[in-house]
Amino acid sequence: MDNNSTEQEMPKIEFPCLYPIKIIGIASESFQDDVIATVEKYTEKISADQIELRESKQQNYVSVRVTITATGEDQIRELFTDLKTIENVKLVL
């Protein structure tokens, strides 16, 4: 059996496109502002309807989901790298 025929290629993303990014971190007063400021370095200004916030039950953690208009793989890769440098960020998806 030929492995190449059974493997599926990952679909290519066509840019520009809407691209959701989820950032999870320790809840702090500045967490959302730090995340949005970092995202806006790579995109146009983020509006409130592009942001979704969720707090953990004990409110120790928060997730910020931001939907951006992605223009390319380099933009996404650099944005993810930069988001991971924020002090309270634990995970970027």
CATH code where residue 28 lies? 3.30.70.260
| Residue 1 pLDDT exceeds 80 | no
Tell me, yes or no, whether 7 lies in a domain: no
Q: Is the pLDDT of residue 70 over 80?
A: yes
pTM (two decimals): 0.85
Dihedral of CA atoms 29, 35, 38, 44 in degrees, nearest 10, equals -110
Q: Is residue 8 part of a domain?
A: no
The residue-averaged pLDDT of 55-82 equals 97
Looking at the structure of the chain, the number of domains it has is: 1
In the predicted structure, residue 74 carries a pLDDT above the cut 90: yes
Average predicted confidence (pLDDT) for the chain:
91
pLDDT of the residue at 35: 98
* DSSP category for residue 41: T
60 to each of 4, 32, 40, 66, 81, how far by Cα in Å? Answer: 46, 14, 25, 20, 24
| pLDDT of 68 | 97
CA-nearest of 28, 24, 22 to 66 is 22
Angle, vertex CA 17, rays to CA 12 and CA 18, nearest 5: 120
Give me the domain span that covers residue 79: 13-92
